């Protein structure tokens, strides 16, 4: 039972950042910056959570989540703007923004947002009104997991059944065909998908702060945004599949943590496994695709 709870708690940020990556990749946007957007969201949520008045319970929580969403969206919008305005490769810009977010958060928890005793590099705890309610009483499992699942289901529906989803998929598969045959404003569609992706990753950061850590720490993300790429690719970029792969990687990270404590297998091994998963997925896809082209 404890393992299941830990697994689902670990799965929550992976699932939601994985969803963010899936949305971007579907639109042909290589958003490697879910990590930075996660940190931006976590920072904004912590800032609101620390300074919100205690009494208004739901309002403080919602304000923190909204702040996280906006911060994540803004962080992604920077890279989206650089891409559409200057043609800057988003792979490079989002990775640079990851580093900038990391140092930015480091500055804030050692400077303006540091807890009052100025001993630890972290903010004070967020007010209890901004805490995410617990899903199963007596455990750490919080409503963030449900929010993530609902978000994934919504994204799946939009991608599959709405006109917007069709435009996103068309832009990702073949931007030139989408532009000329489908009369789709590809630049606009990809920019929107990019910003939405950032908003979702920011939401993940806000949920982590309001549901798990209750404060902003220096290394709030142990690389969720990179694991998210494995989560999204293994799901075949399908938003519903992300729920399953998110839980799978949640289990992997929980097991890696346990193994490190018990038998000393380094937790960095988890990112090796993630990388192997990504490579295996693309190898299988490529071998299949190459075989088809050869037989034609």
Partner 1 sequence: MIDGTSAFLEGVVRTATPLALAALGETVTERSGIINIGLEGSIIAGALGAVIGAGYGGVWAGFAFAAVCGCAVAAIFALFAVTLRADQIISGTAVTLLALGGTGTLYRILYGSAGAGLNTPTLDPMSLPLLSQIPVIGRSLFVQSAITYMLYLLIPAVGWWMYRTHAGLGLRAIGENPAAAIAAGIRARRVQFLAVLFGGLLGGISGGTLVLAQAGTFVEGMSAGRGFIAIAIVVLGRWNPLGAALAALVFGAASALQFFFQATESNLPYQLFLAFPYVLTLVALAATRGRASSPAALGRQDFGQS
Chain residues in the site for partner 1 (CB under 8 A):
30, 32, 82, 85-89, 91-93, 95-97, 99-100, 103-104, 106-107, 110-111, 226, 229-230, 233, 264, 266, 268-272, 274-276, 278-279, 282-283, 285-287, 290, 293
115 by Cβ neighbours in 10 Å (0-12 / 13-18 / 19+) ranks as middle
- For residue 205, the 8-state DSSP code is H
φ and ψ at residue 29, rounded to 5 degrees:
-105, 120
C-beta closer to partner 1: residue 115 or 212 = 115
C-beta closer to partner 1: residue 113 or 147 = 113
Q: How many Cβ atoms are within 10 Å of 285's Cβ, its own excluded?
A: 12
State the minimum distance, in angstroms, from the CB of residue 100 to partner 1: 5
- For residue 132, the 8-state DSSP code is P
Distance separating the N- and C-terminal Cα atoms of the chain: 52
State the minimum distance, in angstroms, from the CB of residue 149 to partner 1: 26
C-beta closer to partner 1: residue 44 or 63 = 44
State the minimum distance, in angstroms, from the CB of residue 236 to partner 1: 13
Output Rg (C-alpha) for the chain, integer angstroms: 19
State the minimum distance, in angstroms, from the CB of residue 117 to partner 1: 19
- Give the whole-angstrom CA distance, residue 60 versus residue 68: 12
C-beta closer to partner 1: residue 56 or 115 = 115
C-beta closer to partner 1: residue 127 or 216 = 216
- Give the whole-angstrom CA distance, residue 289 versus residue 296: 11
State the minimum distance, in angstroms, from the CB of residue 49 to partner 1: 22
Q: Which residue has the tokens 């911060």?
A: 71
Assigned token pair, 34:
């879910």
State the minimum distance, in angstroms, from the CB of residue 107 to partner 1: 4
C-beta closer to partner 1: residue 112 or 138 = 112
């Amino acid at each position: 039972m404890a393992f299941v709870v830990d697994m689902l708690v670990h799965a929550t940020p992976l699932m939601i950042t994985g969803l963010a990556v899936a949305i971007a990749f579907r639109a042909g946007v290589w958003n490697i910056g879910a990590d930075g957007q996660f940190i931006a969201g976590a920072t904004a949520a912590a800032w609101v959570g620390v300074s919100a008045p205690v009494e208004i319970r739901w309002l403080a929580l919602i304000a923190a989540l909204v702040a996280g969403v906006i911060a994540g969206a803004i962080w992604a919008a920077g890279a989206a703007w650089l891409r559409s305005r200057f043609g800057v490769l988003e792979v490079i810009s989002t990775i640079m923004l990851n580093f900038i977010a990391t140092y930015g958060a480091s500055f804030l928890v050692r400077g303006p947002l540091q807890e009052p005793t100025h001993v630890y590099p972290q903010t004070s705890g967020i007010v209890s009104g901004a805490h995410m309610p617990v899903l199963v009483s007596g455990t750490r499992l919080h409503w963030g997991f449900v929010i993530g699942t609902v978000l994934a289901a919504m994204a799946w529906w939009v991608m599959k059944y709405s006109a917007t989803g069709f435009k996103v998929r068309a832009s990702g598969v073949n931007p030139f065909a989408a532009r000329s045959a489908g009369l789709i404003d590809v630049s606009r569609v990809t920019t929107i998908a990019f910003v939405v992706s950032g908003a979702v990753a920011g939401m993940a950061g806000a949920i982590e702060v309001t549901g798990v850590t209750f404060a902003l720490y220096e290394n709030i993300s142990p690389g969720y945004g990179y694991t998210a790429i494995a989560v999204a690719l293994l799901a075949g970029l399908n938003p519903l599949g992300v729920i399953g792969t998110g839980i799978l990687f949640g289990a992997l990270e929980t097991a890696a943590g346990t193994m490190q404590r018990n038998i000393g297998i380094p937790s960095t091994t988890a990112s090796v496994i993630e990388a192997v998963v990504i490579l295996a997925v693309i190898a299988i896809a490529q071998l299949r695709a190459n075989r088809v082209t050869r037989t034609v």
